[in-house]
Structure 1
Amino acid sequence: MMDHLVILIRSISAFFILMVIARILGKQTLSNMNFHEFVTAVILGAMAANFAFNEKIAVVHLIIALSVFTITSYVLSKLFMKFRKFKMWTEGTPTVLMEGGRILEDNLRKNNMTLDSLNQQLRQKEIFDIEEVEYALLEVNGKLSVQKKKELQAVTLKDLHLNAGNILQFPIELVIDGQLLNDNLKSNHIPESWILSQLEARNKKLEDVFYAVKSSNGQLYLDDYKDNIQHPIDIE
């Protein structure tokens, strides 16, 4: 009877320890699990399960091990925010699977993905005809992002004022965390002077910009570090 009680207490303790760790690591871990977060989750889960049923594992040893992996994951998350190249090297980058309505077979093979898998994920996006797709990207978390062809996209009030002859372009990221993405500029033949002139016209400096993207309609979207929002909404 005593053994059963010990297992019960250890199991409950393990559950609440994991709850605290998940809270520390934040919401991003739950919504978009990347490589290092996946590894951390597997290891922490295995540790907690062993602690619940293996009485030979000392509580102190468990706390040390859990602390090491929690701190490691937390530090990596902060490094990813500060050093984008390190994040890209560690996690990889999104892969274009379809461009201009065409399937990129080499990119499918590089990601060990079959055409059946692509069609399955498209169906989960309520796309049953692959001809509807303009762009499809495989995100680093394994999810598929899809942009339909222009004529098949839902019409908004803004669309009614657009010239029907406008060509739909794929959004191009130009600035992240105050730094120009030179590779994106070069590959899309966008001169650096263009983005700088756009910033100057808005009385902005490069170091003031957190994020800048050339949107589908060719306009520049900017997000500053200072959002001037006094009471940002965060639903707990």
Structure 2
Amino acid sequence: MPDWLHIVVRATSTLVLLFVLTRILGKKQISQLTFFEYVIGITLGDLAGAISTDVEANFGHGVIAILVWCFVPLGMELLTLKSKTLRNWVDGKGTVLIKEGKVLEDNLKKERFTADELLEQLRSKSVFRVADVEFAMLEASGDISVLLKSELQPLTPKHLNMKLVTEKPTQTVVMDGEIQNEPLAAAGKGRGWLHEELDKIGVTIENVFLGQVDTHGELTVDLFDDKLQVPAPSARPMLLATLKKCEADLELFSLTTQHEQAKMMYESCSEQLTKVIQSVTTILRS
């Protein structure tokens, strides 16, 4: 067998082997790596390259070495699931760098972190003042987790006592001009509804690159022809406007009627509708 063909066969076999082993090791190997996983990744890559191109080396021995470097770490991972002590020893543990707004210089030296590196990591988290940080920890993966002081944290609906609807995954119901039946069913919609919504905005299914149904059941589309302008969904704003019109009509009826009982009924309904409008305004405007 010619050397070039030999290398092709060895490289292809090694590629398939690494793919299978990577699937066995799981997604953790392609996420933030710990020191141990970093060493394993480098070694496996070096072994794969060596046995792929070194035609004089025994291919079987190279495969055995790769299997050892794969299954020993896999066994270690299974053991670390049972023991926190072993997990701390193998993966390492986080180090507090800032506590209660104060930089812990001793911990910085322990992790061989300079002030410039700390500031760089904070800037990557959109934090430009150390004084704004309540707590920061260097994780085992090498990333820094940052907690801002309470008064600097983003405002959330909970702070305003606002109740929002539970968000559901957005379903892609059209892709490359083809209707996706499973996402369409997951969104609780049918083909008839989809065609009706597309007719409202004057778009054919063949011209839709992506069509998605959001939490509120509204369809948004991206077209192949970017020159065409698609109107924004208007169902929720129209519903809000209709509710406000009904509220105004009830107030008008209460002012114009001469019947006391009817007047009280209109006023009561108007007050109830006002509360409803206040509770759904955020949802219908978003």
Class of the TM-score when normalised by the shorter of the 2 chains: 0.5 to 0.7
Partner residue, 2:61: 61
Contact 2:35 2:91 in 1 (8 A): yes
Larger mean CA deviation between 27-36 and 44-53 belongs to 27-36
Question: Aligned partners of 1:153 and 1:91: how far apart in 2?
Answer: 31
1:34 CA displacement: 1.5
Secondary structure at the counterpart of residue 82 of structure 1 = coil
Gaps of 5+ in 2: 162-286
Amino acid at match of 1:126: S
Question: Aligned partners of 2:28 and 2:44: how far apart in 1?
Answer: 17
Percent of aligned pairs sharing the same letter: 38
Partner residue, 1:83: 83
Gaps of 5+ in 1: 162-236
Partner residue, 2:27: 27
- As a proportion of its length, which structure holds more helix? 2
Amino acid at match of 2:45: G
1:32 CA displacement: 2.7
Question: Aligned partners of 1:90 and 1:4: how far apart in 2?
Answer: 41
Deviations 1:185-212 (A, max 9, x none): xxxxxxxxxxxxxxxxxxxxxxxxxxxx
Question: Aligned partners of 1:158 and 1:57: how far apart in 2?
Answer: 64
Partner residue, 2:2: 2
Question: Aligned partners of 1:119 and 1:17: how far apart in 2?
Answer: 42
1:130 CA displacement: 2.1
Partner residue, 2:108: 108
1:92 CA displacement: 2.3
Secondary structure at the counterpart of residue 20 of structure 1 = helix
1:14 CA displacement: 2.2
Question: Aligned partners of 1:23 and 1:156: how far apart in 2?
Answer: 39
- TM-score after normalising by structure 2: 0.54
- TM-score after normalising by structure 1: 0.64
Amino acid at match of 2:52: A
Deviations 1:38-65 (A, max 9, x none): 1211111110010111112222111211
1:106 CA displacement: 0.3
Amino acid at match of 2:23: R
Partner residue, 1:166: none
Question: Aligned partners of 1:39 and 1:69: how far apart in 2?
Answer: 10
Higher relative contact order (CA 8 A, sep 6+): 1
1:77 CA displacement: 0.4
Deviations 1:97-143 (A, max 9, x none): 00111100000000011011111111111222222211110000111
Larger Rg: 2
Does residue 47 of structure 2 align to residue 47 of structure 1? yes
Amino acid at match of 2:127: I
Question: Aligned partners of 2:70 and 2:88: how far apart in 1?
Answer: 21
Partner residue, 2:122: 122
Question: Aligned partners of 1:123 and 1:143: how far apart in 2?
Answer: 13
1:9 CA displacement: 2.7
RMSD, aligned α-carbons: 1.8
Contact 2:10 2:59 in 1 (8 A): no
